[in-house]
Amino acid sequence: MSRGTARRLGGRVAAVVGGGSGMGRSISLRLADEGAAVYVADLSDEAARAVVSEIERAGGAAYARKVDATDTEALRSFYGDIDAAHGRLHVLHHQVGMPGAGGIDVSVQDFDRAIDVNVKSAFYVATLGYELVKKADGAGSISMTASTAALVGSPFSPLYSMTKGALTSFTRALALFAAPDRVRVNVICPGPVDTPMLPTFFGRDPGANMQDLMSEFIGLVPLGRPASPEEIAGVVAFLASDDAGFVTGVTIPIDGGLTAR
């Protein structure tokens, strides 16, 4: 296939919740490139189908599902489909998130929405899919995407830092819970990533110059650039593979050295 990567996930089944665009799209493509049959779940049915078409054109196997990750019944139905078709799930990745409202003058509606999208979805994607991953006979991996804002404070949105920070402690706890079942759980914390979502993290205050704020923030990255979505996908693929068979409960910054300062 396209990148000629080692097919570390041959014969395995993967699900990427939030897999229709940006980092999720690249993760779906990479897992398929490494041999997994990938369920691409997204709030946008059109986006999920587009990613599945890319995978199929490259010779891989994939299935599109429209799923609202904040809807527990929709998640149960999604996992029920996978269970009926495969009886197990080897790789489960949560790639659902949104920027929090800027500043500290946050409406209850904006607060509740950020909690639903960034925290509730991660908890139920992982826990409702857990029994399927447990059936992978020691080859099960659950991973989530947080942010460097989980590790250092976001000057733009304390709410975003709070919601993403929750995923790092949840990962540690779930990894301990899951260890007797030989299920691994890890979380990645990307810095700035070159996707269409990146500009939405800046310029939320009236009169703010978005481009200046973006340039200033990227200038703090020691490697001097944002990550590509493919670089994020490579780390998720590693965590999903047997190469990471003794890696669980960890938080991995993918940030060009940003949190090393």
Contact (Cβ atoms closer than 8 angstroms) between residue 188 and residue 146? yes
Location of structure tokens 């080859």:
139
Contact (Cβ atoms closer than 8 angstroms) between residue 79 and residue 132? yes
With a CB cutoff of 8 Å and minimum separation 6, the contacts of 234 are: 30
Tell me which residue of 64, 79, 122, 77 sits closest to 98, measured CA to CA.
122
Q: Which amino acid belongs to residue 56?
A: E
Is 124 annotated as catalytic? no
Which residues partner with 256 through β-bridges? Answer: none
CA-to-CA distance for 181 and 183, rounded, in angstroms?
Answer: 5
Catalytic residue chosen out of the listed positions 63, 79, 124, 160: 160
Q: How many CB atoms lie within 10 A of CB 102?
A: 22
Which residue numbers are catalytic? 160
